[in-house]
């Protein structure tokens, strides 16, 4: 087990190097000269040279790469070019905001779509099953954007049930006032594809021999579904849920943009808009790292969920 | 006597026998026609012209309240100029001269229309023409990016799967790097560096979206490379390239086709979101995403027609293409059963 863990962790290293290289090549070689952006509207030659020296841009590329690697491991990406705020502090401030929204979406999505999928799979082939699946297919085809734009207009503007946009400093106000509408709209978008996916996992399990055995020895349909089938279908479902974890930190770009929620997603959009490279670089590298760690934990989780899996 | 038909012929027959597929093909054919016609300038050529008043009403609701419309409660008041003001106007002596010279030129001031077939936008542009033009650009971007992504995925996947060994390890590493960054973040990072524009969006989406195709093609090539027909080709002296692209490629081409149509839908959705955020198609052009971006302000004023036009055009296309992809997959793979 620990040997596996060590070897698996060792495999992360080349990927991590790759992500760092990709981000470095993208921004430092293709990204243009940041000094001309930083020097303002009327740049003087001395100012540009001074900025280049300050950022280490006058150094050869391997020195720049070394600076970047140091930045990654010391969590110090310097300051944002646009707001002059330290980048790490910015990330620490914005990430909880994204999680406030997306954590709820993640949890509710899991609860609702797994129970919906179980119910639909239980009544497989019935009218309920087919109509819910048809609704899911139709719902999936409509762009995310339309849900959010129209939903904000109807519930925020016409009906006035929720504030249209906004965020506050108090966690409780955010949870009760500003979060419900974005969470609700995000759920509308995510439930359809999740339900379809989980239904296919569950339906696949119901075709196995052990289900027939359980029925043959007299287990009720409910017991077959909730105990036998769900336990086995849990393996792909939990994997899928775990793999969607990194996305929580970035929130949903569109939701955060349209509802003016100051989370990481909105920060990325602002940074792209202002060519604020340190912020994008930092967020990209750290999310890449997070994804790798999540993948690693999913592998370990596998063994817990499925004792047949041997980690070698 | 029945003649036996080729693979593609029978796949096409299976496709055409499906009623749903036929409906989808007709719809997609109509969109394709519109795209080609708009690209050639046959329709929606003057989408950028301000033919109506601001937010012109759709023809079927001509009486919708509009301060610029014919039912406006605001009446234009001609402002008189009093003699005292005229006395100090330095241009006063020249007015007659100016009028006389201006009359030498033919001037056509088209009267802005109160109503347009499906209404107008803020600048009084025809929503129908605008939606057609937007569709042309969105679909072009989607199809272009999908073709690029499939080509990249195919080349890398075929190389990795067929060659194996060290080349495969390097390409797997490349794949791991690209998939360890959340997709939308990767797209935004590329967009931050490469800027805006139609060809840029195609390149960005294509060079970030090849990973799924790569995976699929790689596993398929690993499966195929040891089959007898490939060994036979090797035995008669076919080169590696020839085996990869002349012998194996036709046997995986149905997968590529399905992958291509899946990606078109995905990339159109991505383009809409990118353009909405302002990182996609430049704003002097129009796409479905740009239209939806304008809608945010319009809805509050009660102007629902541009949203309706863009939403219906986009949703019908995406639904039809999605269903078509499903049917296509079934038709191309007769052994696969639908769950």
* Tokens representing residue B294 in the block: 């304008």
Closest CB from B176, B273, B314 relative to A18? B176
Which residues from A are below 8 Å from B292, CB to CB? 143, 145-146, 149
Q: Do A146 and B190 touch (CB under 8 A)?
A: no
pLDDT at A282 over 80: yes
**Separation in Å, CA of B222 to nearest CA in chain A:** 23
Q: What is the mean pLDDT of chain B?
A: 84
- The pTM of the full predicted model, rounded to 2 decimals, is 0.83
A255 touches chain B (CB under 8 A): no
Q: Do B315 and A141 touch (CB under 8 A)?
A: yes
Q: Do A157 and B299 touch (CB under 8 A)?
A: yes
Angle between helices B127-163 and B288-300 (to 10 degrees): 140
A249 vs A300, higher pLDDT: A300
Cα torsion for B116, B109, B282, B273, to the nearest 10°? -10
> What CA–CA distance (Å, rounded) separates B317 from B250?
29
Beta bridge partner(s), residue B116: B58
Confidence of residue B290 (pLDDT cuts 50, 70, 90): confident
For B:164-183, CB contacts with A below 8 A are: 173-174, 176-178, 180-182
Q: Do A144 and B189 touch (CB under 8 A)?
A: no
- If phi over 0 gives left and psi between -120 and 50 gives alpha, with beta otherwise, what is residue B303? beta
Q: Do B182 and A292 touch (CB under 8 A)?
A: no
**Separation in Å, CA of A295 to nearest CA in chain B:** 9
pLDDT tens for B158-191 read 999 998 889 999 999 989 899 888 888 888 888 8
pLDDT tens for A35-71 read 766 666 666 777 777 777 777 777 777 888 888 888 8
Q: Which residue has the tokens 């495999």?
A: A11
B193 touches chain A (CB under 8 A): yes
Helix (H) or strand (E) holding B52: strand B52-58
pLDDT at B11 over 50: yes
| Residue B58 neighbours by CB under 8 Å, 6+ apart | B64, B115, B116, B117, B118, B119, B127, B305
pLDDT at B31 over 90: yes
pLDDT at B338 over 50: no
Q: Do A143 and B307 touch (CB under 8 A)?
A: no
For A:153-182, CB contacts with B below 8 A are: 153, 157
pLDDT at B148 over 90: yes
Closest CB from B189, B296, B307 relative to A284? B189
Confidence of residue A93 (pLDDT cuts 50, 70, 90): confident
Q: Do A153 and B300 touch (CB under 8 A)?
A: yes
pLDDT at A205 over 90: no
pLDDT tens for B181-228 read 888 888 888 888 887 888 888 999 999 999 999 999 999 999 998 899
pLDDT at B73 over 80: no
Regarding beta strands B113-116 and B52-58, do their DSSP bridges make them parallel or antiparallel, or are they unpaired? parallel
């Amino acid at each position: 087990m620990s040997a596996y863990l060590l070897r698996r962790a060792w495999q992360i290293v080349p990927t991590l190097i790759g992500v760092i290289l990709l981000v470095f090549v993208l921004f430092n070689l293709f990204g243009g000269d940041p000094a001309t952006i930083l020097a303002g509207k009327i740049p003087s030659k001395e100012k540009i040279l001074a900025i280049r020296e300050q950022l280490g841009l006058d150094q050869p590329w391997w020195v720049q790469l070394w600076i970047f690697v140091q930045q990654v491991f010391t969590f110090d990406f310097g300051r944002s070019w646009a707001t002059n705020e330290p980048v790490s502090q910015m990330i620490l401030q914005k990430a909880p905001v994204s999680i406030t929204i997306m954590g709820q979406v993640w949890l509710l999505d899991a609860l609702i779509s797994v129970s919906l999928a179980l119910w639909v799979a239980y009544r497989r082939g019935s009218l309920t099953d087919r109509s819910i699946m048809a609704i899911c297919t139709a719902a999936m085809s409509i762009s995310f954007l339309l849900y959010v734009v129209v939903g904000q207009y109807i519930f925020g503007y016409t009906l006035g049930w929720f504030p249209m946009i906004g965020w506050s400093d108090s966690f409780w106000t955010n949870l009760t006032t500003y979060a419900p509408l974005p969470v609700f709209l995000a759920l509308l978008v995510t439930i359809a594809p999740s339900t379809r996916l989980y239904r296919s996992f569950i339906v696949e399990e119901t075709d196995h021999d052990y289900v027939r055995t359980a029925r043959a020895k007299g287990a009720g349909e409910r017991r077959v579904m909730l105990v036998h089938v769900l336990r086995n279908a849990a393996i792909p479902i939990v994997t899928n849920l775990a793999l969607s974890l990194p996305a929580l930190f970035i929130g949903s770009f569109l939701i955060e943009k349209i509802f003016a929620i100051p989370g990481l997603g909105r920060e990325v959009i602002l940074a792209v808009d202002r060519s604020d490279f340190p912020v994008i670089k930092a967020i990209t590298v750290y999310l890449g790292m997070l994804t790798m760690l999540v993948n690693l934990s999913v592998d370990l989780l596998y063994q817990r969920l499925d004792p047949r899996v041997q980690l070698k | 006597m029945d003649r036996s038909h080729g693979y593609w012929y029978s796949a096409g027959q299976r496709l055409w026998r499906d009623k749903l597929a036929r409906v989808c093909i007709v719809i997609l054919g109509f969109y394709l026609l519109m795209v080609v016609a708009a690209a050639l300038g046959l329709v929606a050529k003057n989408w950028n012209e301000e033919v109506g008043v601001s937010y012109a009403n759709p023809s079927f609701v001509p009486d919708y309240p509009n301060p610029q419309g014919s039912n406006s409660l605001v009446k234009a008041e001609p402002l008189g100029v009093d003699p005292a003001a005229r006395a100090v106007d330095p241009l006063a002596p020249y007015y007659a001269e100016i009028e006389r010279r201006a009359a030498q030129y033919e001037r056509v001031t088209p009267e802005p229309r109160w109503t347009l077939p499906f209404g107008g936008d803020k600048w009084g542009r025809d929503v129908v023409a605008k939606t057609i033009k937007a569709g042309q650009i969105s679909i072009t971007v989607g199809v272009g990016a999908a073709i690029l992504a499939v080509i990249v995925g195919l080349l890398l996947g075929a190389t990795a799967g067929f060659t194996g060994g060290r080349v495969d390890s390097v390409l797997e590493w490349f794949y791991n790097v690209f998939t360890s960054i959340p997709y939308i973040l990767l797209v935004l990072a590329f967009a931050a560096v490469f800027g805006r524009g139609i060809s840029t969006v195609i390149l960005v989406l294509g060079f970030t979206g090849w990973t799924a195709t790569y995976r699929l093609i790689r596993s398929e090539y690993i499966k195929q490379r040891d089959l007898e027909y490939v060994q036979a080709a090797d035995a008669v002296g076919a080169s590696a390239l020839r085996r990869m692209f002349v012998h194996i490629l036709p046997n995986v081409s149905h997968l590529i086709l399905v992958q291509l149509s899946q990606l078109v839908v995905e990339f159109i959705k991505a383009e809409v979101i990118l353009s909405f955020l302002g990182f996609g198609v430049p704003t002097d052009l129009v796409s479905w995403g740009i239209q939806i971006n304008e809608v945010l302000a319009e809805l509050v004023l009660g102007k629902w027609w541009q949203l309706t036009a863009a939403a219906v055009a986009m949703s019908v296309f995406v639904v039809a293409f999605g269903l078509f992809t499903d049917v296509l997959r079934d038709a191309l793979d007769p052994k696969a059963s639908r769950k």
